[in-house]
Chains A and B, each alone.
Chain A
């Protein structure tokens, strides 16, 4: 009986591994497909490239948006500064930023696996499954290979948490300093890392209040010095562009929809993660992973409801859930639960590696792999899609278990095609045919046409709503037809700017790229060449 059970366990573990490896293969192919694509795939990638270009020229991207080219960034500098040397070598291009993000997602998975191995009684297989589970998440999949700073932030904060988990209780000063330095790096990659920083400091305070306060003073002081320097170096624009412009309207239904989707997709991991948290709360000491998970899920979940946010705001909580669930399940398989008197009967059975545990653990990962399934349904994937019984439910040839129905869930993940690149080239040709600057909601066309990037529409919108952008000069340029073309994708510009465009420009063509319609407008009264 025992041998049969062991073999069954082994078979199910192999099946779970294969399912998660299949998910990783799809992720890898998605990255390989997307990385060389020379245009925006996700709106805003081109503006991150523009930030990188500015850093490579020794300039800060935090600027006065009332003057030409009306450009500014709302993101901290680290990711773009890291990619800046690549601009010197390769010129402006998307592939290195996307590669950097993709590698950062793989690094996160490795760190998660290491944490589960180290803190979960050295079960190598479970550690590997935990890392793969992170990469299998639909939310991670979306943003992993994009030219966005979010994935690097998650990698840095995950590494920081895993280092602090061991260093702080052992009073390892170098380890603590390094962990906190990584947290500062994460914060200066993206502001959202503040949630993880608060969680880490709260956990440190629970463990050793005196040491925590001393470390926190140094941490906050160092972080504040960088903040002040950036503000001084940018003549105060750092504050306006990265703080004021980031306070956006909250949409509760978006947050609740994403929270429900987060649970629907990741429930197979969230339940064991929750069980370990419950155990730590009442029968053991709270780990840094549990505190991080709570903060990241709750605060990150609420923040996901703000305008411009989305499912990526859950990636930190998914990293924490992968670690917690991995430790919980690994401890169960290794029969390593320490039984407090109240739980001796229950945990004694779990520690005996009773048959339900042997079957449940791989079944949870199998269930998770199915819950997070996303894959192309055509070409080489068609037979597998048929076998699994999945049909395209998002785009014409892509299946995503999350569907595209929840507001805030990024409607991407499908593969780009040759037609998409041809469509992008058509837009670039239109820009090249004009001798005037072009106002575009997508910066990639300006890069491809070797033109200046003019404006950052979402940033102008946010500044306008915060009362920090009037746009007089931009509106004047629009009304006097100083732009050869206007290219709109989602009409993100502030209302007065869109109204000026409506008065002075007329629809000329619609070009579809990446399943989005790009509206090409030219000046009214036949003013274009």
Chain B
């Protein structure tokens, strides 16, 4: 709660660790979302198509970048 309040102080800036955590979250949700299209089979044929494969690749990259940013700690993003 205090971190959240701190975030909205005048001079607060997002850190590399926070950005990394956000990227990891986006990456995981994105990967699950892309795979869920196949699991749920929403009005389409099975198999990962080229657009899905590309989205999956982007999300993996986002996840990896996020993981590498977390150790950079409180350095400003």
Residues of chain A having any CB pair with chain B under 8 Å: 205-211, 213, 250, 252-253, 255-256, 281-282, 285-286, 298
A211 surroundings in chain B (CB, below 8 A): 10
B68 surroundings in chain A (CB, below 8 A): 282
Q: How far is the CB of A493 from chain B (nearest CB, A)?
A: 28
**CA–CA, A250 to B51, complex, Å?**
9
A286 surroundings in chain B (CB, below 8 A): 77
Residues of chain B having any CB pair with chain A under 8 Å: 7-14, 19, 49-51, 54, 58, 65, 68-69, 72, 76-77
Closest B-chain residue to A286, C-beta based?
B77
A selection of 30 A-B contacts at a CB cut-off of 8 Å is A206-B14, A206-B77, A207-B13, A207-B14, A208-B10, A208-B11, A208-B13, A209-B7, A209-B12, A209-B13, A210-B7, A210-B8, A210-B9, A210-B10, A210-B12, A213-B8, A250-B51, A252-B49, A252-B51, A252-B54, A253-B50, A256-B50, A256-B54, A281-B65, A281-B69, A282-B69, A282-B72, A285-B76, A285-B77, A298-B58
Knowing that A281-B65, A282-B68, A285-B77 are A-B contacts, what are 9 other residue pairs whose CB atoms are under 8 Å apart, sorted by A's residue number? A205-B14, A206-B14, A207-B14, A209-B14, A252-B49, A252-B50, A252-B54, A253-B50, A286-B77
Q: How far is the CB of B19 from chain A (nearest CB, A)?
A: 7
B58 surroundings in chain A (CB, below 8 A): 298
List 10 A-B pairs, minimum CB-CB distance, nearest first: A252-B51, A252-B50, A210-B8, A206-B14, A206-B77, A209-B7, A285-B76, A286-B77, A207-B13, A209-B12
**CA–CA, A281 to B9, complex, Å?**
24
A208 touches B65 (CB 8 A): no
B11 surroundings in chain A (CB, below 8 A): 208
Q: How far is the CB of A516 from chain B (nearest CB, A)?
A: 30
**CA–CA, A198 to B49, complex, Å?**
28
B54 surroundings in chain A (CB, below 8 A): 252, 256
**CA–CA, A207 to B14, complex, Å?**
6
**CA–CA, A208 to B68, complex, Å?**
23
Q: How far is the CB of A165 from chain B (nearest CB, A)?
A: 16
**CA–CA, A327 to B25, complex, Å?**
32
Q: How far is the CB of A208 from chain B (nearest CB, A)?
A: 6
Closest A-chain residue to B19, C-beta based?
A206
**CA–CA, A281 to B54, complex, Å?**
23
A252 surroundings in chain B (CB, below 8 A): 49-51, 54
Q: How far is the CB of B72 from chain A (nearest CB, A)?
A: 7
A209 surroundings in chain B (CB, below 8 A): 7-8, 12-14
